[in-house]
């Protein structure tokens, strides 16, 4: 399959094209316990979206993660559903998808 991408200067400068150019989307996928949620927290922290990164295995007095919002996720320290977090950084809109871990990626 051949795919030809248009040079940036040939893309029309429309409001929609401008908004599309600003967006960056990252889906973080890997095997269980590989650190996906920890990476998500660090990206949110370094991107200025949060002031303090949460911990997957947080104790009662510690801050839990933003992406693990369901009670079962917080109790067990696992991601059950995909969470999407959006923040602005340096004129760009970043979308982070924190996914549950999979044992086998052969079907993905």
Q: Quick check: is 35 in a domain?
A: yes
Q: Quick check: is 45 in a domain?
A: yes
Which pLDDT band, with edges at 50, 70 and 90, does 9 fall under? low
Evaluate if residue 97 carries a pLDDT over 70. yes
Q: Quick check: is 16 in a domain?
A: no
Q: Quick check: is 74 in a domain?
A: yes
pLDDT tens for each residue of 16-27: 888 889 999 998
Report how many domains make up the chain. 1
List the structure tokens of 88. 């602005």
- Is 36 within 8 Å of 77 (Cβ atoms)? no
Contacts (Cβ under 8 Å, ≥6 apart) of 87: 44, 47, 48, 49, 93, 94, 96
Burial class (CB in 10 A: 0-12, 13-18, 19+), 44: buried
Question: CATH number of the domain that 46 lies in?
Answer: 3.40.50.300
Mean pLDDT of 19-48: 86
Reduce the DSSP state of residue 92 to 3 states and report it.
strand
Range of the domain at 71: 22-98
């Amino acid at each position: 399959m051949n795919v030809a991408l248009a040079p940036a200067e040939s893309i029309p400068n429309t409001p929609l094209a401008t908004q599309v150019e600003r967006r960056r989307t990252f889906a973080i996928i890997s095997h269980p316990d590989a650190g996906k949620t920890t990476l998500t927290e660090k990206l949110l922290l370094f991107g200025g979206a949060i002031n303090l990164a949460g911990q997957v295995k947080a104790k009662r007095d510690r801050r839990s993660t933003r992406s693990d919002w369901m009670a079962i996720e917080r109790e067990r320290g696992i991601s059950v559903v995909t969470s999407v977090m959006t923040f602005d950084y340096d004129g760009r809109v970043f979308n982070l998808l924190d996914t549950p871990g999979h044992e086998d990626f052969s079907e993905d």
